[in-house]
Structure 1
Amino acid sequence: MSERSSVPLVAEPGDDARDDLDRARSGDDDAFRRLVEPLRGQLHAHCYRMLGSTHDADDALQDALVRAWRGLARFEGRSSFRSWLYTVATRTCLDSVERRGKRALPVDLGPSTDHAVVGDAPLSEVAWLGPYRDSGLSDGLLGPGARYEQREAVELAFVAALQHLPGNQRAALLLFDVLGFSAAEIAAIMDTTTTSVNSALARARKVVAAKAPSVTQQQTLRKIDDARIREVVHGFCTALERGDTDALVALLTQDVTWSMPPMPHWYRGLPAVTDFAVRVPLTGCGSWRHLVTSANAQPAVGCYLWNDDAGAHQAWSINVLALRGDRIAEITSFVGAEHFRVFELPDSLP
């Protein structure tokens, strides 16, 4: 939860917006796009929090906007246009949750592994949580009642914790604690009662408190000098490229974890993580190159592995780092070239 207050990002519509709404109701799609554009990034982030996948968020947002456009003539203005859009987007996401279920990380599947599993094979039948490109997020709160900042609310641990909630609890928590809607507004959005909303909120908060760290990455990162953060990220990249075990270990906490969805095995603790690092990325894979990025409002690295057939370093994984103090406490390596396209990173490096 944020310790910092911010100016809400929600403003009352001006005359131009009201004019655009009238035009959009009359079938002006350009006016509709102007209404939606200021909210598009927030809506997409909401869909990602609900669904745990950028691809699913893309589809859900597109579906929601089509539904909104087709149903705009029925929008009577009893709520704000923003509230109505979030109603459509939330219900679209709930439909998707019902069809597809929740997404997971390796830690959700079973206990950690003590020693490196060489040649670990992807587990394709699991719907895996994916990373989120956070470049469009600001640092402010989304509404006057919001408890989480935008960037806190896309952190990997928080989104992973949300996946342990049923759809209605997930929606209630996000609408109340992230977006700042009231219980009465959420009851209208979800077509239920305020009593049901408050009950869902209480259950959801209990689960998230147990699953997500009490200190967010934003709180941690604000306490670390930016130069030190860059030093840690650069040190991680350099250690992998040089195969330098000692340099890598010096950056890690004693209880560090390393997971690699869609690979099912994961590692906890310095001995297990060191064994994996030595036997797989540091000595068993070949030459690495890296590009620094950001994912889920956390430091991240795009890792490229040498491919003889291509004669280049090919996109391999987006590594999202979680820090504690000024050391790395979690490494989540999202393996797959498809993630690089989301981050607009190149498919290969020399």
Structure 2
Amino acid sequence: MSDLATTQDLDSRLEQHRRELTGYCYRMLGSAFEAEDAVQDTMVRAWRNFEKFEGRSSLRSWLYRIATNVCLDMLNAGNRRARPMDLTAATPVAQAQLNARPEITWLEPVPDGRVLPSVADPAETAVERESIRLAFVAALQHLPPKQRAVLILREVLAWKASEVAELLSTTVASVNSALQRARVTLADARPVSTDADNPLDEEQKKLLDRYVAAFEGYDMQALTALLHEDATLSMPPYDLWLRGHDDIVGWMLGVGSVCRGSRLVPTVANGSPAFAHYHPAEEGDGFTPWALMVIEIVDGRITGINSFLDTQRWFPLFDLPARLDKEGKPAV
């Protein structure tokens, strides 16, 4: 076999694992961009050191070992991603102020297609989706890096304790102890399990259709009927967040009234329904990007609206149109 054929074969074998590795690194790091950087670093290290791969474990296990070390190195720099509700108390709308924090502070959204492998088993698919929800990934950030790795490998990816011990160069007893401590911490963080994003669920589809109609029509009475009484609204990069439909509606009728006349384009993020939020263009000839809006639903009602406002980052990542025309369709 020629060197070119060998190179292409190795590239192909490595690329087969990119998506699942990106999902793993995203759960570890809480950042879509850092996860992609970590996976690229993993691929480069694997390529450079492939002659040292002795085949005592599978290629997949070897790549996870490299990816884990890359993530641990990145996390040792002290980075920990958070949601606004992890940093401050909810602010009454009458006292609300927009205070920006550095970009590195925030837990980032991620497109499903970049982190969720294609699996046929519905139960496995449900676990994969649940484990990239914003609330779950935010809860993972409370764990020390090695506990985080152990919990993801054991409970999300269903690795055996012996496999994790080998990957981390430790003992099964240490893995089991780390898992137990991680479970306690995660229970204290209490990530809420949200309804699965299921495009075949007619009730959810109707709820989201009603949400779009209420938001685009700026019908606050209709919107209130869709929100749980303890629903939250957050807007990274600002640390402000609001709780309760009264404060959310109060915000939208006040400072948030700049959203009147907006258009929403459906997408998916973090295993949840999401929308690209476009504002009316100042020149009045269409709509321009404003936010990526990730929706959390529990028991058929909206419990969270997470609006990520840095559109220069999110819209290209999600392959969203850079502009909509007057009819609300992608502008050419």
Q: Do they fold alike, i.e. is TM over 0.5?
A: yes
Residue 39 of structure 2: aligned partner? 61
User: Is this contact kept in 2: 1:141–1:150, CA < 8 A?
Assistant: no
Change (3 A) 1:117 1:345: farther
The residue aligned with 1:295 is 269
Post-superposition offset of 1:156? 1.2
Q: Please tell me whether residue 346 in structure 1 is matched to residue 321 in structure 2.
A: yes
Say which SS state the counterpart of residue 49 (structure 2) adopts.
helix
Match status 1:70 vs 2:48: yes
Asked if 2 retains the 8 angstrom alpha-carbon contact of 1:117 and 1:276, the reply is no
Post-superposition shift, 1:240?
1.9
Matches within 5 A, 1:35-114: 35-114=13-92
- Normalising by structure 2, we get a TM-score of 0.89
Which blocks of at least 5 consecutive residues in structure 1 are unaligned?
1-18
1:186-197 equivalence runs, <5 A: 186-197=164-175
Q: Which residue of 1 aligns with 2:258?
A: 284
Q: In terms of mean alpha carbon deviation, does 99-108 or 147-156 score higher?
A: 147-156
> How far apart, in 1, do the equivalents of 2:178 and 2:284 lie?
52
> What is the aligned length?
322
1:196-275 equivalences under 5 Å are: 196-213=174-191, 215-218=193-196, 226-275=201-250
The alpha-carbon distance between structure 1 residues 311 and 148, as it changes in their structure 2 partners (threshold 3 A), is: closer
Q: What is the identity percentage for the equivalent residue pairs of Structure 1 and Structure 2? A: 39
One-letter identity of the residue aligned with 2:160: S
> 2 CA distance for matches of 1:104 and 1:36?
31
Alignment CA distance shift 1:168-1:27 (3 Å): farther
One-letter amino acid matched to 1:262: P
1:279 aligned partner, one-letter code: G
Q: Who is 1:332 aligned against?
A: 306
Q: How far apart, in 2, do the equivalents of 1:45 and 1:318 lie?
A: 20
Q: TM-score, normalised to structure 1's length?
A: 0.84
Match of 1:10 in 2: none
Task: Report 1:3-22 matches (<5 A).
Answer: none
Cα 1:89/1:126, change in 2 over 3 Å: closer
Query: CA offsets per residue over residues 115-144 of structure 1, 9 Å max, x none?
Result: 1566624222652111110025257499x9
Q: Matched residues in 1 for 2:224 and 2:117: separation?
A: 33
The CA deviation at 1:31 is 1.1
SS in 1 for 2:289: strand
Match of 2:102, SS state, is: coil
Structure 1 counterpart SS, 2:128: coil
1:83-123 deviation per Cα after TM superposition (whole angstroms, max 9, x unaligned): 00111111111111112511011001111011156662422
Greater mean alpha carbon deviation, residues 128-137 or residues 170-179: 128-137
Between the aligned partners of 1:303 and 1:116, the Cα distance in structure 2 is: 25
* Distance in 2, Cα, partners of 1:214 & 1:320: 15
Query: What is the Cα deviation at residue 264 of structure 1?
Result: 0.6
Q: Where has structure 1 moved over 6 Å in runs of 4 or more?
A: none
- Aligned amino acid, residue 8 of structure 2: D
Cα drift, residue 311 of structure 1: 4.5
